Chains A and B, each alone.
Chain A
Amino acid sequence: MADHVGKLLLPGDKLENLSVSEKTSKAVLGPGLRKDEEDIFVTKPGILRHKEPNIYWIDSHQKRYVAVKGDSVIGVVTNKAGDIFRVDIGGSEIASLSYLSFEGATKRNRPDVKVGDLVYGKLLVANKDMEPELVCIDSAGRSAGMGVIGRDGGFLHTCSLNLIRKMLSPDCPLLKQLGRSMKYEITVGVNGRIWVQARSVIQTITVINAIDAAEFMSNEQIISMCKKLGEVFVEKE
Chain B
Amino acid sequence: MRDTPLSNCEREFIKKAISEKRRIDGRQAFDYRHMKISFGLERGCCQVEIGETRVMSQVSCQVGEPKQARPADGTLFINVELSPMACPSFEPGRLSDFGVEINRLLERCLKESRCIDTESLCIVTGEKVWEIRVDVHVLNHDGNLVDACSIAAIAALAHFRRPDVTVSGEEITIHPASERDLVPLSVHHMPICVSFAFFEQGKFLLVDPVDLEEKVMEGRMVIAMNKHREICTLQVTGQMLLLKDQVLRCSNIAVVKVAEITELIHKALENDRQERFKGGKFGFAESVSLDKVTANQKIAEPVDMTTLDAQRAASYLEGSESSDMDSSIVSSEEDENSVVILDKGVGGIGLGGVSRWNVDEEMEELAGEQQTTQTGQKVKQTHMVADHGSSSEEETTEVLGNQATNQKQKDKEASVRKKEKK
Contacts and interface: CB of A to CB of B under 8 A. Distances in A.
B295 to A, nearest CB: 11
Nearest to B304: A213
Interface string B305-335: 1110111111011100000000000000000
B203 interface: no
Interface string B6-46: 11111111001100101011100000000000000000000
B7 A150 contact: yes
A201 B299 contact: no
B2 to A, nearest CB: 8
B4 A88 contact: yes
A222 to B, nearest CB: 11
B294 to A, nearest CB: 6
A209 B314 CA distance: 16
B9 A155 contact: yes
B152 to A, nearest CB: 24
Nearest to A182: B313
A56 interface: no
Interface string A78-116: 100000000010100000000000000000000000101
B13 A154 contact: yes
A88 B5 CA distance: 7
A96 to B, nearest CB: 15
Contact of A229 (B7, B297, B306, B316): B306
A164 interface: no
Contacts, number: 103
A55 B2 CA distance: 36
A13 interface: no
B303 A203 contact: no
Contact of A203 (B10, B16, B307, B313): B313
Interface string A197-213: 00011111110111011
A151 B13 CA distance: 11
Contacts of A78: 5
B22 A201 contact: yes
A167 B162 CA distance: 54
A201 B16 contact: yes
A236 interface: yes
B279 interface: no
B306 A154 contact: no
B412 to A, nearest CB: 20
B317 A76 contact: no
Contact of A236 (B4, B307, B314): B314
A158 B25 CA distance: 13
A205 B26 contact: yes
Contacts of A225: 303, 306
A213 B305 contact: yes
A206 B309 contact: yes
A78 B317 CA distance: 37
Of residues A90, A205, A225, A228, which shows the largest number of chain B Cβ atoms within 10 Å of its Cβ? A205
A195 B316 contact: no
B169 interface: no
A141 interface: no
Given A204-B13, A209-B302, A212-B302, A114 B8 contact: yes
Nearest to A8: B293
A78 to B, nearest CB: 5
Contacts of B310: 206, 228-229, 232-233
Contact of B10 (A156, A201, A212, A237): A156
A151 B17 CA distance: 17
B54 to A, nearest CB: 15
B303 A154 contact: no
A154 to B, nearest CB: 6
A52 interface: no
A232 B313 contact: yes
Contacts of A201: 13, 16-17, 20, 22
Given A213-B299, A233-B310, 12 more contacts: A88-B5, A116-B6, A118-B7, A154-B13, A155-B24, A202-B22, A205-B24, A212-B302, A215-B299, A228-B310, A229-B306, A232-B310
10 contacts: A76-B4, A88-B5, A90-B4, A200-B316, A205-B309, A206-B306, A213-B305, A229-B310, A233-B317, A236-B318
